[in-house]
Amino acid sequence: MSAPGGSMREQPGHDGAALVRVTISGTTAEVALDNGPLNLMTKPMLRALNDAFGRLAANADLRCMILHGGSARVFCAGSDIKELPVLGKDASEQKILIEDHMLRRLARLPMPTIAAIDATVLGGGLELALACDLRVVKRGISIGLPENNLGGLAGSGSVRITRLIGPSRAKELLFLGEPIAAETALAWGLVNRVVDGSALDAARAMAAKIGARAPLSNRLAKELVDASQDLPLDAGLTLSTLSQQKVFDSADMQEGVAAFFGKRAPTFTGR
């Protein structure tokens, strides 16, 4: 359950480790990375994130989740290079599948999610942000997928970034391995907003607006948008019909209509 009345409550990370800090204020959860100055995506960090996202997925009261880099110098610099030489042929078992499971769990969270990026985001860090629904970045930061500089590959990042910005620009980022400016990322559709101040503050303001809207509608909208990338048109439209019926059956829609005619702000419950 979320903390009442806008109060902040912190939940422990995986096995009590302080690699990920989860706080809940009202109907918004914040997940802060806390793995040193670079927030490296070590195996313990991957497991801590997976655990955190699993707990948040089960919280029906949440209306938005913000992911940010905490007090680190960067949002997330990606994999810990020191781990790479020892993985070898066991990489899928030891890391790739763990990371893939975590990113899928993040992408499938039922509530809207926002990555608040106040510092450089590279490699696996960008793949983490790409698994969120929205990305808010601070002006002047660098964004990139430089894995090929080390002979590596942005696996899930290659797929998710292509769906956002198209194959030509995705290939430019992947082939060159060079970071781009936040303003370029905005023009390409890679990020949603570039702000002059704190990206976290801007994400919190966005989350407050999202939280004031009908949560059932937002969850169903997320489901439809995500499904539209995989389903044939007719199947997607069938799903939209079923989703609309759920909305018409909901108490939230009745409340929204009543509030409109009563000239007051609606109080949505997600039911």
Catalytic site includes residue 83: no
Contact 200, 116 (CB under 8 A): yes
Query: How far is 94 from 76, CA to CA, in rounded Å?
Result: 20
- β-bridge pairing 64-68 and 113-117: parallel
Long-range contacts of 83-86 (CB under 8 A, 24+ apart): 83/42, 83/43, 84/150, 84/152
Pair of tokens at residue 108: 């499938």
Distance of alpha carbon 267 from alpha carbon 137, whole angstroms:
31
Alpha carbon distance 162, 109 (integer Å): 21
**Catalytic residue (choose from 10, 83, 99, 147):** 147
Whether 127 is a known active-site residue: answer yes
Tokens of 180: 């781009």
Place of tokens 């490699």: 123
Give the C-alpha distances (Å, rounded to integers) separating 49 from 17, 69, 195, 270: 11, 13, 26, 26
Q: Which of 127, 172, 183, 223 is catalytic?
A: 127
Which residues are tagged catalytic?
127, 147
